[in-house]
Amino acid sequence: MLWRVWLAVAAVALLFTLCWLFVEKRLFLTTLLSTILWAWLGTTAGDLEVRSLEAGTTAPIEIPSLQWVMFGMTALSVLAAFLHYFGHYPPQDDTVEPHLTDTPR
């Protein structure tokens, strides 16, 4: 797998992951897509290669720790999907404890 293609897919996976911050209604869809992309990135990270334009050959890239980062992002995406399904994510900010308000009783 070429490094440029892999980085483009990583950018899309990061975009879907960042969508969790802004899109509440489509959270399950974005977590599903980011889970699939992060898992694919983790499984293909061991076969990365760079193409040399001058020589016309490809050279492998050895980054085994990158696979662990990708699988960690996969686990984070799965966790966000489960937490959203069970109603714990995203947290509701509109509930304020009575003792934290500025109005006197």
Q: How confident is the prediction along the chain (105 residues), in pLDDT tens digits per residue? A: 788 899 999 999 999 999 887 777 788 889 999 999 999 999 998 888 888 777 778 888 878 888 999 999 999 999 988 888 888 777 676 665 666 566 665
Angle at the Cα of 29 from the Cα atoms of 47 and 34, rounded to 5 degrees: 20
In a domain, 104, yes or no: no
> What is the domain range of residue 29?
3-92
Q: Is 52 helix (H, G, I), strand (E, B) or coil?
A: coil
In a domain, 50, yes or no: yes
Please write the tens of the pLDDT for every residue from 16-38.
Answer: 999 887 777 788 889 999 999 99
In a domain, 101, yes or no: no
In a domain, 103, yes or no: no
The closest of 78, 64, 65 to 17, measured between CA atoms, is 78
In a domain, 8, yes or no: yes
In a domain, 32, yes or no: yes
Judged on CB neighbours under 10 Å (0-12, 13-18, 19+), 67 is middle
In a domain, 97, yes or no: no
Instruction: Give how many domains the chain has, as a whole number.
Output: 1
